[in-house]
Amino acid sequence: MSSSDKKKLDLQELMEALQNLDMENVGGWPAPIKLAAAVLVFVAVVFMGYMFSISDGYAQVDTLQRTEADLMQKYEAKAFKAQNLDQYRKQLDDMKEMFGSLLSQLPKETEVPGLLEDITHTGLGSGLEFKKIELGQEAQKEFYAELPITIDAAGDFHGFGSFVSGVAALPRIVTMGDFVIKPAKGDFGRQLDIVITAKTYRYSSTGAAGSKPGSATPKGGKK
């Protein structure tokens, strides 16, 4: 009998033995089958132990590693800030100085008439003819008050551009917006009627209510 025939016979005997196993009488199983069953049970126990114990341990390790990485990043950021603390303090001092410089450009309430005079002189020097300059209601903001100024004037386009540039060059902060420009009535030339809303600001540390609106007729202009 050849070796291949012997292997086929052994396999058939093994299959017949497995089919004839009595599950209620494990002790009566052949020794090789009992050994194989014991090995399978051992492997199953090890596998289940890995799934329920070792895998949880790996998950905890991964979580701890991520936490360690986050803490390391925070530590490095704080260490960098601590190393550059003097530089940050200098930047803070520079910002305070710059802030104080900007606040100095905000006029006090008593300086508004002088500012109106500067605006008037700038407009007259640009060739504009003022009809009216009217102060609006002062609006209180967080640390400053905003005062709108309505300017009604007449002039040509180039004079208007020169006036805007001149106001922007004033030492005090004045913003200009809400332009309304239209041809002057009865004038088919280059004359324009111009209405501008300018805004000036003053520093306010008390949060007091705004001043009452009023009007001013500039020197050299029309009533």
Residue 104 is predicted with a pLDDT of 67
Categorize the per-residue pLDDT at 150 as very low, low, confident or very high, splitting at 50, 70 and 90. Answer: very high
Higher-confidence position of 26 and 216 = 26
Please give the structure tokens belonging to residue 27. Answer: 């002790």
Lowest mean pLDDT among 19-33, 42-56, 130-144: 19-33
Alpha carbon distance 183, 192 (integer Å): 4
Query: How high is the mean pLDDT of the chain?
Result: 76
What pLDDT, on the 0 to 100 scale, is given for residue 138? 84
119 is written with which tokens? 């605006």
Predicted confidence (pLDDT) at residue 207 exceeds the cutoff of 60: no
Let me know if 134 is exposed, middle or buried by CB neighbors in 10 A (0-12, 13-18, 19+): middle
Is the pLDDT reported for residue 93 higher than 80? yes
Return d(Cα 39, Cα 164) in angstroms, integer.
Answer: 95
Structural element, H or E, at residue 141: none
pLDDT at 175: 87
Average pLDDT over residues 164-170: 89
Task: Provide the CB-side half-sphere exposure for 189 (13 A, CA).
Answer: 5
Backbone phi, then psi, for 154, in 5-degree steps? Answer: -130, 145
Of 158, 139, 157, the closest CA to residue 147 belongs to 139
Report the range of poorest mean pLDDT among 58-72, 99-113, 132-146, 206-220. 206-220
Residues 6 or more apart in contact with residue 139 via CB below 8 angstroms? 145, 146, 147, 148, 210
Burial 4-32 (b: 16+ CB within 10 A, else e): eeeeeeeeeeeeeeeeeeeeeeeeebeee
For the packed helices 85-104 and 55-83, what is the interaxial angle rounded to 10 degrees? 60
Q: How many CB atoms lie within 10 A of CB 61?
A: 10
In 3D, which of 162, 168, 174, 166 has the Cα closest to residue 202? 174
For the whole model, what pTM was predicted? 0.47
Q: How would residue 99 be classed by pLDDT, with cut points 50, 70 and 90?
A: confident
Read off the pLDDT band of 208 (50, 70, 90). Answer: very low
- The lowest-confidence range among 40-49, 56-65, 105-114 is 105-114
Amino acid at position 143, single letter: F
Per-residue pLDDT for 184 more than 80?
Answer: no
Strand partners for 199 = 148, 175
Indicate if the pLDDT at residue 55 is higher than 90.
no
Mean pLDDT across 55-76: 84
**Paired residues of 152 in beta bridges:** 132, 195
- Mind listing the domains of the chain with CATH numbers? 109-216 (3.30.70.60)
The alpha-carbon radius of gyration of the chain (Å, integer) is 46
What's the whole-number mean pLDDT along residues 166-195? 81
Taking residues 80-106, report their average pLDDT: 81
| 26 and 34 Cβ atoms separated by less than 8 Å | yes
